[in-house]
Structure 1
Amino acid sequence: MAARRALHFVFKVGNRFQTARFCRDVLRMKVLRHEEFEEGCKASCNGPYNGRWSKAMVGIGPEDDHFVELTIMASETTSLATTSWVSRSLLARLSAMLRNPVLKVTLTVSDLQKSLNYWSKLLGMKIYEKDEKRQRALLGYADNQCKLELQGIKGVVDHAAAFGKIAFSCPQKELLGLKDLMKRENHKILTPLVTLDAPGKATVQVVILADLDGHEICFVGDEVGPKGSKLLDDAMTADKSDEWFAKHNKPKASG
């Protein structure tokens, strides 16, 4: 499974102005790609919202050979939600990685052994470390890639405070087999094999799964894209969201 590679983690946010400022000015990340959409994504990239939304890919290094740390995703409808889908504490922890590459992404799981079977036996990740006493395991597709840490907890994993999606690249020829495997094993498939064609990005095929605790996992065939920072700035200037919220007397979600 060495051909698979960790790509990025997605945070869905209500206020992209604050999030973009934090990522660029505090974390010193660069905007690698930005896209604006007039309607919902057929792969449910923007969650359960059907209105306008945007996506900005930011990171310390290029997508071709770096784990891209964050995807900013927001929509007019998302901003009406009472809670933002990104927690401040999580962004605060990102600031500690300014001078270092991203080493791992941690997901909490309710049953460590069952999750290990899912991620290693079905998704093909190598187990690098396992500590049953601390209920912790470290997995990855290659030694030099960002790792996935599974942390076992008592009880049910709660996605209410913050929610996101981890993405991996995958040879296109493996996507259909991956979908069929999950179907045979009776595991959840959020988006079957679908083709996406977006501005600033090559046409890709995508499969989105959900693990035993509902963590979204996106496998894509390719990842590319230029001119991100200017596209994001232009879109934020043109969206007039502050005027919309003032007109409707609604608070704008905090990033």
Structure 2
Amino acid sequence: MKPSRLLQRGRAPLPALTPACGPRPPPSRTAAPPRPRCAPRRAAAAPRSSAGAPWSSAAAAPARSSTAAAPARGSAAAAPAWSSAAAAPARSSAAAGPSRGSAAAPAPRAARPALPAARGASAAAAAAPARRGPAPPWHRPVTSRQPRPDVTAMAAHRALHFVFKVGDRPRTARFYRELLGMGVLRHEEFEEGCKATCNGPYDGKWSKTMVGYGPEDNHFVAELTYNYGIGEYRLGNDFLGITLVSSQAVSNAKKMGWPLKEVTSGVFEAEAPGGYKFYLEDKEQPKQDPVWKVTLGVSNLQKSVSYWSGLLGMKIYEKDEGNQRALLGYADNQCKLELKAVGGAVDHGTAFGRIAFSCAKEELPSIEALMKKENQKILTPLVSLDTPGKATVQVVILADPDGHEICFVGDEAFRELSQVDPNGDKLLDDAMAADNSDKWFAEHNMKKVSA
């Protein structure tokens, strides 16, 4: 956002979210500062008037820069409900901060072409309920009563997903669904910010969309978080890319006219909206999860390997001192984590993401205790997170030596929470059709803020 404010990245446990509109003060990594008290989160809807949108209730979320907070844009009467009343904080390699604030509905968008079916699906799975056009073959009706896999047979830890902040939800959805060929696994809308800053350091209305090549039980997926009122985020050098194997994705990109760059023989680079890089191997998509690895930048390879392997228990699959890279993971059949030296400090920008893993719920307190014993950063101590109408999960959020955010979540509850929702596509499309934030800003000669 411009103007903006740089806050201390080392966020400590966030207190219970009671008030809503003011900016959060920069917390330390060790103690949670008191939050300023202000108006309650769920204020009455603003009256309809020519000055403000009928759904407005607070001032538009202001921009921020790397050095100082700026005053809120617009007046309280003329700002949308999904915006925050205070500056949305930025974050660099050693900093992080808070901000947070609801939306309405324009005409539904035109139907888009159906996605190609994913590979390796059974005939039974292909009979799943359809969305517009053929449904992903792994889409199947699920309910909270459906039997889950035997959790005792799983690996001790599971790689789950990587979190991306997105500013252009329609274009982002098109990239993942039509170019990569992923399906919408579930879509959820929230009226206030996450206690574990899942949506970043922002208060207010936001959404979460899980997309992938199959169920979260056995696929590494992407979590797309969208903060209403924020149009773009600044990239750093922390996230270096996701590599996946799919000749179909390469073919889709060429048909769509999406920019592709061949970085090495048979490997193409494509940028998702927001600048996030994906590396597509032009090979037949495997029947198992096509997502091979997530690459993160580090400042000191040996120090990072010691943290991820020594403290978090990852297996070292490869280590290349010459090219300053290492490949780690929890199991042979899971998405791997690649650490690559960037030749300097790691800058997280404001687009910083988070990688998530699951473990037995009983192990979460032990992970937290180990980090305290080793004087490592804990961004959010063990906390329960609620999703309306779904399972409550427990998480602890850590930070590695370069500040990369790491979420550990109790596996049993997460398997319940992460069941595929056959209505996921419709929920996402309905939410995008109802989001008139772009129109509101245009009518008021304003632009969405940049984080």
Taking structure 1 as the reference length, the TM-score comes to 0.90
Instruction: Report the CA distance shift for 1:96/1:12 in structure 2 as closer, same or farther (over 3 A).
Output: farther
- Candidates 381, 386, 389, aligned match of 1:197: 386
Higher relative contact order, structure no. (Cα contacts within 8 Å, ≥ 6 residues apart): 1
Q: Could you tell me how far 1:99 is from its partner in structure 2?
A: 2.7
Q: Is the Cα contact below 8 Å between 2:235 and 2:349 reproduced in 1?
A: no
- What amino acid does structure 1 have at the position aligned with 2:368? K
1:251 aligns with 2:440: no
Q: Which residue of 1 aligns with 2:212?
A: 59
- Candidates 217, 225, 228, aligned match of 1:76: 228
Structure 2 CA distance for aligned equivalents of residues 82 and 113 of structure 1: 30
Say what the alpha-carbon RMSD is for the aligned residues: 2.4
Q: Which residue of 2 aligns with 1:241?
A: 437
Helix, strand or coil at the partner of 1:144: coil
1:99 aligns with 2:285: yes
- What amino acid does structure 2 have at the position aligned with 1:74? Y
Q: Which residue of 2 aligns with 1:38?
A: 191
Residues 59-80 of structure 1, C-alpha deviations (whole Å, 9 max, x = no match): 0111011111x1111112433x
Helix, strand or coil at the partner of 1:232: helix
- What amino acid does structure 2 have at the position aligned with 1:51? G
Instruction: Report the CA distance shift for 1:94/1:15 in structure 2 as closer, same or farther (over 3 A).
Output: farther
Residues 144-195 of structure 1, C-alpha deviations (whole Å, 9 max, x = no match): 1111111112110111274211111111011111011111111111111111
Q: Is the Cα contact below 8 Å between 2:192 and 2:206 reproduced in 1?
A: yes
- What amino acid does structure 1 have at the position aligned with 2:337? L
Q: Mark the structure with the bigger radius of gyration.
A: 2
Larger strand share, 1 or 2: 1
Structure 2 CA distance for aligned equivalents of residues 192 and 122 of structure 1: 17
Q: Could you tell me how far 1:8 is from its partner in structure 2?
A: 0.6
Structure 2 CA distance for aligned equivalents of residues 96 and 58 of structure 1: 21
Greater shift, 25-34 or 233-242, is seen at 233-242
Q: Could you tell me how far 1:83 is from its partner in structure 2?
A: 4.0
Instruction: Report the CA distance shift for 1:33/1:95 in structure 2 as closer, same or farther (over 3 A).
Output: farther
Aligned pair count reads: 252
Q: Is the Cα contact below 8 Å between 1:15 and 1:253 reproduced in 2?
A: no
Taking structure 2 as the reference length, the TM-score comes to 0.52
Q: Is the Cα contact below 8 Å between 1:14 and 1:84 reproduced in 2?
A: no
Q: Which residue of 1 aligns with 2:370?
A: 181
- Candidates 352, 366, 377, aligned match of 1:163: 352
Q: Is the Cα contact below 8 Å between 2:167 and 2:274 reproduced in 1?
A: no
Structure 1 CA distance for aligned equivalents of residues 449 and 219 of structure 2: 30
Q: Could you tell me how far 1:89 is from its partner in structure 2?
A: 4.7
Instruction: Report the CA distance shift for 1:234/1:96 in structure 2 as closer, same or farther (over 3 A).
Output: farther
Q: Which residue of 2 aligns with 1:13?
A: 166
1:129 aligns with 2:318: yes
Q: Is the Cα contact below 8 Å between 2:346 and 2:402 reproduced in 1?
A: yes
Larger helix share, 1 or 2: 1
